[in-house]
């Protein structure tokens, strides 16, 4: 059985370890956001890597984090870090927006093509009517 002093020291050690884990998790999150992801995103924006390269690098980064923190996933700070939406890349949001706009443009282009065909058909009819008068 532990004495009150031993219990106190044990609880202080746990608090210290928890605080250290929070600090390390925060530092890793900052490194992830500011260094790793920012560098990957910047490289993609500058044309230094392709979209596929970026996806591979981000996937590897995620796998590394999963490996490093697999023992700590039950710790709230680590769990929050893995589900932090601020880690979503701005470029991903832009890429998704571009894809959505491309679909809209394709639809408008198809509609315009149909309208052009109708205009051409009506012009031919008008010419026929003019010739018959």
Interatomic CA distance for residues 96 and 118, integer angstroms = 34
Residue range 69-93, pLDDT digits in tens: 776 656 555 555 555 554 556 666 7
Q: 10 Å Cβ neighbour count for 114?
A: 10
Interatomic CA distance for residues 68 and 36, integer angstroms = 15
Interatomic CA distance for residues 24 and 4, integer angstroms = 30
CB 89 within 8 A of CB 42: no
Task: Look up the pTM and report it.
Answer: 0.45
- Residue 116: per-residue pLDDT: 95
Is the torsion defined by CA of 65, 66, 72, 73 positive or negative? positive
Flag whether pLDDT at 110 surpasses 80: yes
Q: Which is more confident, 99 or 96?
A: 99
Among the listed residues 24, 18, 21, 29, the one whose alpha carbon sits nearest the alpha carbon of residue 84: 29
Flag whether pLDDT at 10 surpasses 80: no
Cβ-based neighbours of 54, under 8 Å, separated by 6 or more: 40, 41, 43, 44, 91
- Residue 13: per-residue pLDDT: 61
């Amino acid at each position: 059985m532990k004495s009150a002093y031993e219990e106190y020291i044990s609880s202080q050690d746990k608090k210290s370890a928890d605080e250290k884990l929070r600090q390390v998790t925060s530092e890793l999150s900052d490194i992830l956001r500011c260094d790793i992801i920012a560098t990957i995103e910047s490289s993609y924006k500058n044309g230094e890597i392709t979209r596929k390269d970026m996806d591979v690098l981000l996937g590897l980064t995620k796998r590394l984090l999963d490996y490093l923190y697999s023992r700590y996933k039950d710790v709230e700070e680590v769990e929050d870090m893995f589900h932090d939406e601020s880690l979503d890349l701005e470029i991903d949001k832009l890429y998704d927006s571009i894809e959505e706009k491309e679909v809209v443009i394709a639809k408008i282009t198809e509609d315009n093509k149909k309208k052009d065909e109708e205009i051409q058909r009506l012009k031919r009819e008008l010419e026929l009517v003019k010739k018959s008068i």
